[in-house]
Structures are given as structure tokens and as C-alpha cells.
Amino acid sequence: MKINYPKVQTDNNQKVFVSFLVKNKLYRLYNGKRIGNDINPNSFPIEERLTIGNLLAAEVYNYISGGGLLTAYRTPEVINGVKSDRVCLKDALHAKLKGNYSEKYKSTLRHIYTAITNVMSGDSLTSHHINLYLERYSSGTSYNTTRRHLNVLVNEAVKQGMTHNPATGIKSVKAKAKLNKPFNNISETLKEVSDFNHKLHLCCLLTYGCLLRPHREIRELTWGDFSDDLTYISLSGLRNKSGRNRVVPVPSYIRDILVIGERNHNIFTGTDKALNEDYFKTLWSRFKKQTTILEEGQTLYSFRHSGAIDIFKRTGSLTKLQKAMGHSSLNVSLTYLRGLEVSELEEGDMPMI
């Protein structure tokens, strides 16, 4: 890019800077840090600063004329040049970390960013680097999950200025369906969980009876999410996986054990802070070690699956199941039922409401 030769000037504090126009906009630099140079006129005695300023002007001119990358002060906005893929990925990560996502999701993005940039041999990201990174995962599920999160970063990097998308054409692999086996003895299981820990018991009840997901939707519940008579729970799209507002009924067997608190208080802690992210995961692991009632494949999510099957068996309505589960479409609910060992169905086979 052609620019006017930078002018060397002095401000009111006797500090020397160089000023120049890029695309008819005036910029100034007090040192060479932003062009990868250690020239700093203002580290010299006042009588020598203009001389060093002229050296800085020459370096700035050569750098920008040669297409060197120059970004705005303290922002990723490009003034001149093209950002490298590495810089675009870094900017993409920062953009995502500012979003309203869970800490676990942000932590996953940080991990993937670190891993993929370590695989890169230079500043460019290629499909070879992505394949090299994904080949670490022998599990189809882990491969696809990591690929999905990596796509989020790469797509954002394209928005941040990356001139190509190396993830295009890298397909998911076929993964074996993971079966979360439902409970045949739900009352007996809940009783044993209740004897073990009352917070875990309430979590399991809400997972089964309200079909909420335990590790965020339930863990972060406040009394303000309940209606005044405790008959409904309302969650905004920012608080659940589907991204849609959800309103779910609260069965009487759950309402009977609830002791309502302050509206801004978490229902488990009694304060404005929620339990830590791994709280119920850890409790469930401890419960599994001391119980003989669980079968292989039964997890904390099995309560949600068991509740889904109960609704479907009693109502025979796929539409009602879809609404209760908060699924985005009927097809998602169909897939969900197939994974739960329910006989295969087609939407046309189902009764209409």
C-alpha cells in the first residue's frame, strides 16, 4: 500500500511521534512496538528524540508500504495488511469468550484453541493441521464434538478476517450411539438417592419430573424461575440448551418437598451463587460407588430419559413429548426415542392432537 511519508512531530509533553495517513485517516505512533520494532524515540534525551523519530518514520514507511500488518490501538481492527490465521484464531477466541456462554463451554474453546495453534507449524491454518489434530480422537463421539467446537472457532476466525476456511469439507464420522439406559425401578432408585443426598435427590426429581438437564438448567435454578405457586418453571433461551424459552409444569410430588426462598437465591445453595459445575457429576459418581441398584449404562441423564418414555407411553403423543423435552423438531424426538430402545416409529404413525 502506498502511504504518505510519515511526519515526525512533537506533542505538548515534548514526546516525539510519527503521523501518517492510511486510506485518508490519520494515525500516529510513539514507538515501533506495533510494527514489531523496538525503536522508541522517547526513551532518549529530548535533544536526540527527533533524530530517532526520523529512524522510526523510515521503519513505519517501509513496513506499511510492504503490506505489514498494523491494527488499531488496543483493538483487532486492521489498519493495514492482512491478519495471519493465528491472529484471526486468537481474535475469534476472544470474541467467543465475551459471549453469554457457560464457563465449561468457554473452557472447551480455550482448550481447542491452544491445541490447534500448537499443531500449526507457522501462522497459517490448513486442513492438514485440522485433520492432524482430530486424528487424536479414536472415539467417534469425541471426534465429532471436538470438530463441532473447532468449527465454531474457525467460522468466527473467518468473520475476524481469515481469508479461507480450512474446516470446509472435513466431515463428521459415524459414531456409535450412546445408550443412557432408562430406569425400570424409578421409585426405588429415587428412594435410595434420597437416602444418600437430598440435593442429588432433588436434582434427580427435577430431571425426571420436569425433564430439565441437570448440569446447568437445574444446577442454576433460582426461586425466581418458579411461578409464585411453584406449579411452573420458566427458563429463558439463554438458560437452556435449545436456546428457546421453556415453560415446564412442576409435578405435585416435587412441589411437596420444595421450601421456597428468596427469588434471587439458588434453590440448592440458598444464596445468589450456584453450585460448582461438577457438583452433581461428583455426587453421582460417589452414589454409583456405594449402590448396587444401578445397571450398566444408567446415568444421571437416565432420569430425563425415563421421564420422556413415561410421557410417551401415557400420552402416545410425539408432539407433547417434543414440547416437554424442549426439542427443536419432531425428528429430534423420534431419534431420541429410537436411542431409548422404543420400537421404531414414523411421525405419520403417531396420533394427532
Tell me the pLDDT tens digit for each residue of 49-105: 999 999 999 999 999 988 888 888 877 777 887 788 998 999 999 999 999 888 889
Domain-ending residue, one of 119, 142, 159: 159
pTM of the model: 0.53
Residue ranges of the chain with pLDDT lower than 50?
339-340, 342-347, 349-351, 353
Residue 339, pLDDT score: 46
Largest Cα–Cα distance of the chain, in whole Å?
90
| 171 domain residue, yes or no | no
What is the domain extent for residue 64? 7-80
Q: Pick from 12, 154, 6: which is nearest to 90 by CA?
A: 154
In this structure, the answer to whether residues 125 and 190 fall within a common structural domain is: no
Q: Are residues 292 and 307 in the same domain?
A: yes
Task: Please report the pLDDT score of residue 241 as a whole number.
Answer: 65
**Is 176 domain-assigned?**
no
Task: Indicate if the alpha-carbon torsion angle 152, 157, 158, 163 is positive or negative.
Answer: negative
- Of 29, 62, 80, which residue constitutes the final position of a domain? 80
Instruction: Report, in angstroms and rounded to the nearest whole number, the Rg of the chain calculated over CA atoms.
Output: 29
CA dihedral 292, 298, 300, 304 (to 10 degrees): -130
Q: Round to the nearest angstrom and report the end-to-end CA distance of the chain.
A: 66
* Segment holding 235, helix H or strand E: strand 232-235
Distance CA 319, CA 179 (A): 23
| Rounded distance between C-alpha atoms, residue 296 and residue 183, angstroms | 11
Inside any domain, residue 168? no
CATH number where 340 lies: 1.10.443.10
Distance in angstroms (rounded) separating the CA atoms of residues 234 and 236: 7
Q: Which of 161, 190, 195 is nearest to 76 (CA)?
A: 161
169 falls within a domain: no
Q: Could you tell me if 49 and 28 lie in one domain?
A: yes
Same domain for 98 and 234, yes or no, is no
Same domain for 91 and 73: no
Strands in 25-29's sheet, in edge-to-edge order, are 7-10, 16-22, 25-29
- Three cell numbers at 282? 461428583
Residues 6+ apart with CB under 8 A from 234: 225, 227, 245, 246, 247
Separation of alpha carbons 278 and 319, rounded Å? 33
Q: Supply the pLDDT for residue 332.
A: 66
Shared domain check, 114 and 71: no
Q: Is residue 137 part of a domain?
A: yes
The total number of structural domains that make up the chain:
3
Q: Does any domain span residue 178?
A: no
Nearest by Cα to 60 from 20, 97, 109, 98: 20
User: Residue 345 falls within a domain, yes or no?
Assistant: yes
Q: Tell the burial category of 341 from Cβ atoms under 10 Å away from its Cβ (0-12, 13-18, 19+).
A: exposed
Q: Dihedral of CA 41/44/46/47: which sign?
A: negative
Residues 222 and 322 in one domain: yes
Same domain, 44 and 91: no
Minimal CA–CA distance to 69: which of 6, 157, 162?
Answer: 162
Q: Which residues pair with 21 in a beta bridge?
A: 26
* Spatial distance between the Cα atoms of 78 and 68, rounded to a whole number of angstroms: 11
Alpha helices in the chain (DSSP H): 46-65, 85-97, 103-119, 127-134, 140-159, 186-196, 198-209, 252-255, 279-290, 302-315, 318-325, 330-338
259 and 121 in a common domain: no
Amino acid of residue 262: E
| Domain-located, residue 164 | no
Select from 80, 110, 134 the last residue of a domain: 80
Inter-residue contact 161 to 125 (CB < 8 Å):
no
Same-domain status, 100 and 235: no
Residues 149 and 36 in one domain: no
Instruction: Answer yes or no: do 303 and 234 share one domain.
Output: yes
